[in-house]
Every structure is written in C-alpha cells, then in structure tokens.
Structure 1
C-alpha cells in the first residue's frame, strides 16, 4: 500500500482548517504526532478503535438529540420552553426563538464535517490483512459509514441541502477553486443518506452485546434511512415553490418544485423494512393492583369493549399505560432492557450538563435541588386528551364542575392520581399526561434523598406567586405555571441530601416513531406503488391501507391507555393527517422532534408564531382560582419568518468555500 500522510488524506468543506476547528473531537491526535501512515493506523486494533471513536464523538455535544439549551436549541419548539431569568441560556433561548442566531450556536456544521472526514478516512484506507478478517473490516466500515450518513442526516434536518463531499476525499494541495463544493439538492442528500444506510445495514448486526449497546445496528441504519426519506417526502421538500429562490451557485433549485407522491411510498416502504426486521416492539410494564408512592398501582383506563378485555398490543388489559410510557425515558431501564430503542448514544452523560440528566435537573423543582427552568405551554398541556380518548375541552370541564373546581379530600378516590387542592382540569386525562406534565399541585416524590429529610421528598409543588417554586422576583420560575415531569425518575433528587439524578438513556430513535411515520406516509398515498426492500430481496406493494395504518397508530395509542381512532377518522386523509400531527406532538414531547416536524410540514409559520399562553402565575395561593385563567405570556413570545426553516451557515465557513451559498433570508456577507 502506498504510504500517505494521514493529515492530508481527506479534506472536507467546512473543515479546511479542520485540525484547528475540530481538534477537541479528534481525541486520538496524540497517537499521530509522528504523522503515522494509514497503513500503520488501520493495522492496529487499538488505533483503529480510537480512530472510530473519534468519529463517534462527532455525534455528541452540539449533535446530541436531546438536552438543554447549551447544545440543543432545537429541542425547544412551541411545546416546551426554557426560562432562566438571570440571562445565560435563558437569553440564548429567547434570541433563538426570534431568529437572532449567534455564530457560536451553529457549531454543529464544522463538528459534523469533522466527523464525516474522520469516517471517510477510515472507509477509504482500511482493508483486510493480518490484523483483521474480511468480516471484521466490513463491520468497522459499516460503523464508519453509518456515522458519516447519520451526520449528513443531522445536517439535512438543520441546514437543509448541504454539500456531499467526494467519498474518496479531496487533495489538501489542490487549488482553492477545486476545494470549493456547492450544496447538493435536498433530494440528493436524502438519497445519499438512504443509499449509504442501506449499504451499512448489510454489515451491521441486528443486535450488539451490552458493552457495545451504543454502536449502530441494522435497525438503526434502516430507521435513519426511513427518516431521511420521510423528510424528503414532506411538504417542505416535496413540491415547494416557495423555495424556488433557494438555488446553488449555478442557479439550480435545491428544493423540489414539483410534488411527487411516490416519495411517500418510498418512505412508507422504508418504515416497513424496519418493522419487518421483527426486532422491535413498544415497551410495556405489567399492570399492578398494589403500589408504592414511587410506583403507584395501575389506574385502569375507562372501560372500552374492544381494549379493556384484550392484552397488548390489541388492548391494555395486562399493562400499566402510565408506567409503560414513563419508564421509557426516566432511567428506569438499561438500554439493553428497552425493546423500543433503535438507536442510542448510551447514557449520554459524557456531557452531563447538556444531556438528558440536565433535562431532568432543569425540570425538577427547587425543592429537590432542581433548577425549575423547563416548562410547558398551555397549548401542549391542552394537547393531551381525556382518559377516554376524547379531546380536552376546557369549557366542558368547567361547566361540569362549576364552583367545585378543586379536588376535595373526600373526592380523592374519584380523581386519582390527583391530590387535594388540585384544579380539576387536570383530572381524568390520558396516562401520558401524568407521565409528562408537572401540573400545579402534582406530587414530586424525589425519594432518593435520605428519609429523615421530609422537606425534600414527597412534595406537592404549586406554582402560585410567592410559593418556593412559583414567581419570586429575581429567581427561576415557570412563566406558564406548568412544569415537565417527563425524563424525571421518581427517585431523582439533587438536593445534596443523599439523593442523586439517575442516568438516562439517550433515545435518538425509537420504534414509536417508525410506527407513526409509517402511518403518516401511507396516509398520503392515493395510488399503489411497488417498492423494493432495502436489500432488494423482496418488493413491497404500498398503498393507503387502513388496516396497516390502524395497526401502527393503535399500538402507540393503546400503550398510552387510550382507544384507537374511529374508522371515520381513518376514512379521511385530511382528518387522519391532523390526528397524526397531534399524536406526534404528545408522544414525542421533549424529544427534539416537533421543531423539525413543524418545519417539514410547513406548519411552523402558523404554530410557532402563535401567542404563547399559560396560567396567571402572578396570582397567589389565596387567589388560586384566578391562577388558572389562561393568559398570554409576554416573556415567552416568539415569531417565525421564512429564514427560520433552515439554519444559517457561519461566515467562517462561507469564506472558505466560494461555491457555498447562504440559507435563504440570512446575511451572505457578499
């Protein structure tokens, strides 16, 4: 093999100054101070693993799927917010919501291309020999190919059409003109991701052992493939004349101007490829007649003739819908115990301040050592339906209870799991509501603190003005008066009294997403299409099949303890589309989905420009009835303009590449 110096092997746009901008991600650089040859690196197992690890590292920090505003601004859409009255990330969040991006917030571009470079070097340089067998080389390359394609997927979601770098790399000594690469079209990027993930899937295992749980599987590759194809089929990228002026350096449109229904068929078939693996299912826990404060007895959904007498997935007779949903996110499960998990970065606490542990800590009340900074909008709170599956109706609830809107001690058995003095709008809601929403008066158990400190465990937290977790001037508080329970374990406690925040598994892709994506794609079809499977071993006839859609959506809703939609809903493409959008809003709260969903659906101009409402948090406990008056929250207002569909490219990147143009609406610095 020809000896080449690794530093000049491959060069990627956005990383022309790669070892200046990406040095912290290339954590194996100390191995290469003597500019070792590719041959030596990839004939050593230790060096090979280190090289691959540095490619994986590009999936962390600014590329985490879920976390706080330090790394995950897109985790905050029209459903959840971040508030920090003293500035810092709170001010960063508010500027972001008005499209006032700062160049230090968009570092995922260079980080992603740094990882793409790292993976490409491995793909181009590694070969079988004395150290590795042919199958081992194929396995390493499949992982590198996955990482490279996944980074393109993250770029596509945020920046839209991006440059696809030559897979063989480019020459460091080439001219500036030849080192400049334009954006590829949206469809080209999505197709590249899909094709690369199909290639990776051939040599990735269906499962890894527990020590390698964060490595990608065949299912992870196929699921990412499905997501890329779904985005390419969605209104933002499929027949969108509003983006006619988004062109490359030669004036060619980057977004498809003509609608193509077959894109939905390809997305549906890709979802079916994941389903047909037979590896994944939604996580459920068994129902229990007895419970504890941390793990209460199952609250059985209202009787339904179809679902109350059947076991899951046909009914909820044998499961606890509340605990089934809650346990997926709060650290109750190891990654290996969750059959719903398709791709994870593991316990993503390498950057604990930005990962899911940070989400839990920022959502927890100050009583338990939390920061009391993450809350929900009233819109999101109202999105959860009643326990019989009917939509929440504020006027109907208030008419029903009249002047008796607070739960009385004598009524506790009729209003489980509510405690006394809780507003009855929170009563008889679907189980996912209680697993996700920290309504005023909810119980926070926080039980890992030592038992002789009752002031920090089993606390009923109210958000009235003057309460410890309500509005107090100069402190963190929830401007809508609605908190978040999702991701918080009942044992989580950060008070410093013997408690701890339990590690949470990063769920970058889970099976519920595939099921709802499958139904969404099928719903958009009017014809029948024959689509090859991912490995071309079979063909799928894809059409708007009501039974297939009903089965996919039904699993998600039944696991959540609510009935499937009526056939009248499935009979209407428009009505089912609305229902699927609402289902995704509820199911994926806080999972960095809604920001991108609203954009791909082209719903963001309406949804993200709506006035944000909450409860009247300036009311004290003595004015509790007035607290629950919906009011506009000026502190959390937002806007939307066309430029906010895609993130801007930083000036430092634009000046390195003369053929790279800015995203629509952002300064080009020409």
Structure 2
C-alpha cells in the first residue's frame, strides 16, 4: 500500500460536508498523490474523509428523481413524459424494467468504492500534531468511516438483498481478476455485521454536533440506521419468506433464511426504543410550534419540521441530516405552471384518500363525515384550534368556497401535503402580502397547459415544498434534507412492539404522540369521546392503524416503498390502475371524476433491484436477484 498511487480529484463543492467543513473543502487541481502524501496533510486527509461521505443519498431531489423510492411507491407521481429527461425510474414503475436497465445512483459500483476509501483512511490516518490533527480527531474519523461503511452496506442490502461482502478489503494494485470475482454473502450475515459495526462506532462518536460540524456522523445516526435496518430485517419479506427458500449462492448456501424468527421483532423493538431514549437524552424531540392560544399548531408544526434548518439548534426532530440537498429542483418541479414552475410533480389519488378527516377517522368510516362529490358552499376553516399557517386568509382558513367536497373537512397533514384544484396558493412573490389565488388544474386552466409540465392526475405535491419559493425570479431557499427523523422512530417502535409484545401500552402512546402533533384525535382502547377514538386492542387492529399512520405521517419521504416491500404488499398495492382527477377535463363534470391516468406493473422480481447484466457476465460467482432472468 505504501507504493499505491491514486488519482485524487478534489471536487468537493456540493459534497456532504461542503457546508459543515467549508474551511477545508475548497476545490483543488487534479493531482497525482501517494497515499502517504495524503495522510501526511491534514487538509487532504479531511478531503479524503469528505469524499467518503459523498454517496449519502439526497433525500429531496435525489430520492424523487433518480433513486426512485418515492416514484416507485404509491405516494408520488411525476409527469410520465419526463422520462425523456432521463427520469430513469418512471419506466420501472410501469413494469419496464430489465437486468439491462440503467439506474443512475449506481449503488452496486459506487458504494463499494466509498467503502474502499473508508478502509484506506482507517488503515492510514494518523495524528499530525504540527497541523493540529489530534489523536481524538483520528479516533473520531475512524469511527465515522466505520459508520459510513455500515450505512453503505445497509443501502446495498436494502436494494439488492445479499451482496458480495468483504468489509475490510483494499484491492492491491497487482490484484488478480479472481480476487474480485466474489459471490454474495447471506443477507442475515451482513445484517449482523452492520449491527455490530454501528454499535461499535456509536461508542466513539458524540450524540450530536452543532454549527460547522453539523451533519457529521453521530452516535444517534448510528442508532437510527441500525433501528431502521433491523425493522426491515424483522419484516415478512426477509423473515421466514418461503419465496426465497431456493435462492442459493453458487456454492449452494441459502442467501435468505426462510425460517421465521419472532425474536427479530424483539431486537427491532429494542433498537428503536434505545434510539428514542438516547435521542431524548441528546435533546431531540418532535418539532412542535404553538398558536396564539398556547396550543399545538399542527399546520406550522408539520410544515416547518421539513423547512426549519437543523444545525443542532432549531429543529430537534432531525436525527440524520443531509446538508445542502438539491431542494431547488424539487421546489421547481412541484410548483404550478401558472407561477412559472415545472408543474408536473404530483401525488396519487390513493394518497389523497389515505388522509384522515378532520375528526381523525379514515374516509371509509361512516362516522368520518367524508363527502366525495359536490362542492362546498362557503370557505372552510380548521375548527379544532386556530392556526397562523395560512396568512392569506383569516386564521384557520383551509379551503375556499366552491372547493370539491373530497378536499374539505380533512386533517391538517392533508392540506400540507396536497395541492388540489381550487386550493389557495400563495407564491413567493406574494408571500406575506395577504395575496394569493386559487389553483386551476382543469384543462385550459392557469396551471394546466396540457403539456408534460402540468398535473397529470389533478394534483401537485405540497409537502416539503418551500412556501417562499418564486420560480419566476429564480428564488429557492436552500435547506437541509432529512434522512431520519424522530417521528419515524416513534412509528417504527410502535410497529415492532406490536409484533413482539402486542397489548403493550407504549404502542398507542407513541402513535398518539404523532397524532397529537398532527392535530387529530388520539386512539384509545376505551370509549370514543371528543379527544379520543376507540380502537380494538388486538394485534391485527393495532397493526392496521399503525400502517395507516405511517402512510400519512411519512408520506413522500422515501419510506413508503420500503414499507410495501417489507410487508410483502407491493405486488398487490403497486399493480393495476392508478387514479386521479381527469387531466383532460375542461368542465367540472369532466375534471372531477376518478380517472385512470396510468397502469402500473409490479412483479415478484421487483422486490429487489436486479444485478446489472454486465456484472453477472464479468463475475461467474454471482447469482441474479430472485426471480430475475438474465
């Protein structure tokens, strides 16, 4: 290794650490350096570490456009004709997916490269007292790389299932091709290694950072990655799934354990509870804002938790941030055409239907008060407490007179997540000036020019968009992305606890923390009243309400796709017609009708990404992902 030459291209503007460590991530010229030369210099050492961070996904635009965890699920739907602009996952959602399909994020090739960079740093980093790189700094850098290695492997197994696994590998310059032709390691073995590696890293890393170091790996991030991975590992897709009983490595070893292990749910529950306790000790809590009466304002709380910068000070709900994400394009593509946005990034009708009504009940409940057809006769107001969320109308205003009844009398999170026809919209140019307008999504309306830059099924996404954006003047406020937040941890814990210890009082306790913040009635196994909704306490009933809550609370955050996969529901939910309002409709009678705008296809093979055909041909020891044919 001492003679290994590596071409280092220090292009770090936009890397994960660019804002948190900007003092040493300036662009340098291309340069040939030995490994020794890198790790004899503090700045170059820190640059190397920054490169190790560079493959952490962008949870705003990256998830939306290229990674696909939002588009492939049933939350979000881009204009289908955007595939001409290299939206590679749009065809996947329609079933046009093969072992030769290109996929931009390139996990299979690029994550192992970053893992290798981590290994090189771990082996070579050392204190440089003359440059103020201390023993403590080195110890933390090594722990950061251990975290990153484990995190990247968690992404690999989440995407492909079993993968080639050699976590400490550093390929020598004189390698033999056979050294690289490694087969897959069983899924559970990799999970076990990741679990242990994260537990070791968290012993060294601090629980939080503030200021310039915000976004660097922490013990809380270790616990968050571990808790999410263990929940997935306990779930039906990989815990006793008979479909994979015959999925074997080239040497005949089962790559999945097809025997159900109930203890995995206990391990997952314990990991989530450990995360919750540790996060609270580190000062993390749900993001809550209050109205003028001193009560929780659900609109501001749920909207601004995605907009308020973390930096360790303002937003304590964020457990795993990704600094400097590409929020500009997300805001542009979800902004209506009539306000000079790209106007074609929408949500599905099934997500619209998933939100509760104002009294906290699903629209399928006869007591919910839901009305689908017809139009409201007057402006609608949030009657369960005032809010200063929408300053363009009176306090508590949510819908204008003449709104389709489907969108009236819904819970706060609905109005924060969905832009619908006749929704009140204030663009950045008019924000704070008591001005706004109604959205026009019918054919020929201001926001539907009947091109690919228009709401293809009658909706645009509102969640996580910045209300101050102004596409006309190219103003888009930067913000951090959120890869993991405390609200998810609460729901993960509730789910794992219900599967491992049904009837435990903490299950509803943590679900209700989410609902209280959202301004909807909480659940009780007792009698229904003005504040509570009765729910049967059996495991199946509680499982149902947890899944409904996850769908609403975590929608459009890149989590729904993995939920459907791990529950083994993707084949059912993601197959068949997708509905919305009629994009072609020019009149109320034409526009306001449930219309099939797309037919989706999801095959059993799609639970895992295929290994690209070229990789299979290069490596005879690989086996293709389950149910994919080369």
Band of TM-score, shorter chain: 0.7 to 0.9
1:445 pairs with one of 413, 426, 432: 426
Query: Any conservation in 2 of the 1:191–1:229 contact (CA below 8 Å)?
Result: no
Cα distance, 1:395 vs structure 2: 8.3
CA distance in 2 between counterparts of 1:105 and 1:246 reads: 27
- Give the SS at the match of 1:85: helix
C-alpha RMSD of matched pairs (Å): 3.0
Matched, 1:619 2:597: no
- Give the SS at the match of 1:381: helix
Cα distance, 1:584 vs structure 2: 1.1
Alignment of 1:155-170 (within 5 A): 155-170=156-171
Q: TM-score by structure 2 length?
A: 0.86
1:426 pairs with one of 397, 407, 410: 407
Superposed CA offset, 1:514-565 (max 9, x none): 111111111111xxxxxxxxxxxxxxxxx44522112211111111111222
Cα distance, 1:387 vs structure 2: 1.4
Can you give the 5+ residue segments of structure 2 that lack an aligned partner in the other structure? 17-24, 384-395, 526-533
Superposed CA offset, 1:598-633 (max 9, x none): 11110101000142111223322xx31443222222
Q: TM-score by structure 1 length?
A: 0.81
- Give the SS at the match of 2:361: coil
Query: Any conservation in 2 of the 1:245–1:253 contact (CA below 8 Å)?
Result: yes
Distance 1:226 1:625, change over 3 A: same
Alignment of 1:176-575 (within 5 A): 176-277=177-278, 278=280, 279=282, 280-288=284-292, 318-330=295-307, 336-348=313-325, 355-393=326-364, 405-409=374-378, 416-448=397-429, 458-470=436-448, 472-496=449-473, 500-525=475-500, 543-544=501-502, 546-567=504-525, 569=535, 571-575=537-541
Find the counterpart in structure 2 of residue 532 from structure 1. Answer: none
Distance 1:490 1:86, change over 3 A: closer
State how many pairs are aligned: 590
CA distance in 1 between counterparts of 2:306 and 2:623 reads: 39
Cα distance, 1:464 vs structure 2: 1.2
Query: Any conservation in 2 of the 1:67–1:358 contact (CA below 8 Å)?
Result: no
Cα distance, 1:494 vs structure 2: 0.6
- Give the SS at the match of 1:637: strand
Can you give the 5+ residue segments of structure 1 that lack an aligned partner in the other structure? 9-17, 290-316, 349-354, 526-542
2:40 pairs with one of 39, 43, 60: 43
CA distance in 2 between counterparts of 1:435 and 1:174 reads: 54
Cα distance, 1:397 vs structure 2: 8.0
Cα distance, 1:36 vs structure 2: 1.4
Cα distance, 1:166 vs structure 2: 4.0
Superposed CA offset, 1:202-258 (max 9, x none): 111111121111112110011101111111111111001101232211122211100
Query: Any conservation in 2 of the 1:69–1:89 contact (CA below 8 Å)?
Result: no
Cα distance, 1:486 vs structure 2: 0.7
CA distance in 2 between counterparts of 1:107 and 1:231 reads: 22
Query: Any conservation in 2 of the 1:120–1:168 contact (CA below 8 Å)?
Result: yes
Distance 1:100 1:245, change over 3 A: farther
Cα distance, 1:666 vs structure 2: 2.9
Distance 1:234 1:43, change over 3 A: same
CA distance in 2 between counterparts of 1:151 and 1:327 reads: 29
Query: Any conservation in 2 of the 1:377–1:613 contact (CA below 8 Å)?
Result: yes
Distance 1:474 1:389, change over 3 A: closer
- Give the SS at the match of 1:178: helix
Distance 1:42 1:225, change over 3 A: same
Find the counterpart in structure 2 of residue 73 from structure 1. Answer: 68
CA distance in 1 between counterparts of 2:225 and 2:418 reads: 29
